[in-house]
Structure 1
Amino acid sequence: MAAVQASGSISQAGRELGLSYRHAWGLLQQAEALLGQPLLVRGRGRGSALTELGDKLKARGWMLATAESCTGGWVGQLVTALPGSSSWYERGFITYANDAKIEMLGVPAATLASHGAVSEETASAMASGALANSHAQATLAISGIAGPGGGTPQKPVGLVCYGWALADGTLISSTCRLGGNRDEIRSRAVAASLRGLIDLLG
């Protein structure tokens, strides 16, 4: 795993260790099964999504800040596990409670009261707040219901809202319903947030 993180590519790490691509993937999957959580966010044939995101940010000379609720800093943990990420990752906000969203990110209390913590309005405000309270030029925000409790008919377990903000004024949001247990929902939310920002950066 250290070799994968260092290179940002499973195929390259395999070559360095004298392993085939298939063997390297197999070892990674075994480690993930043992730990019960993903160790690498997959990209689209170009190494890991983290490496892809880092390359896009570095090409612009931009830094990333993250604002996480239900994922509790998981995005930041994955990013900082990648050597060299200090060149494109600036800071992370873990705002689990509503008060933290208000105090650290400036999310309006009225937004939380009207739309709830798990809403595109709140996720957008989190992303905007992360941009305003950091030196980053790109941000992502995640707020969701990971379960097993806490869901309602209107907002069921697995509902996750995302926000992405860029220094050029771009602000978009999205909502999806994810399946699985608590950890699976959270890990899928992390992957979706990264992929959304990669797609936004083009």
Structure 2
Amino acid sequence: MAVIKPVDYGAFFDTVSPAIETHPANYTEEVKSAFLQAIYDRGNLSSPAINDSEFLLWLRVRLRPLLVDLSPSLVTPLLDIGKNRSCNSSQEIITLLDTLHLTLTNNTKREIFKITLLFLQGPTPLKCYTGRSLYIYLKDTFLSFGFPDLSTFKSLLPATRESELLSTINAAELNQLLNQPNMIDNNSDICVLFNNYNSSGET
């Protein structure tokens, strides 16, 4: 990779990535990780010079075979690319990883959940949220990688918007939310949730 110029990465991976997908046994995790690290270091996929359409080509065609059996240490730089791109592009990364979840270790899945949560928490909390049901938005964001427990869910709500955001969740969705595995970890949090939920006018 040291002798390949970044400007030639597209053409290089247009050849290599399909070969990896066709003959995955010929490429070890170490080799795929080295390819990914080179892309992270020199591919400049966060650059505005690469538009969303080109980025999605990178993601779905060139990167996809390299993300099978993704190492936990390579999750953060991948999701960091999404931070500097459109909301659609950042969610496409999670969506693609979700299609590969059967190849991922539990440690990798936990890392994906953790970095996704950090993305939602700031510096602009819920910056990609567009006003629909907050519960459905979070389900669609995390996909198969988990769901925040109640205290973490509450931490995603800016104090001045708690009632507003909770009012987007209907009663059936609230029931689903509270029945998520290991959801209720602190009884005081559920009191805060219901106090704000009631103030939204829901019954």
TM-score, L = length of structure 2: 0.25
Higher normalized helix content (fraction of residues) = 2
TM-score, L = length of structure 1: 0.25
Name which structure has the greater RCO, CA cutoff 8 Å, separation 6+: 1
Higher normalized strand content (fraction of residues) = 1
Pair member with larger Rg: 2
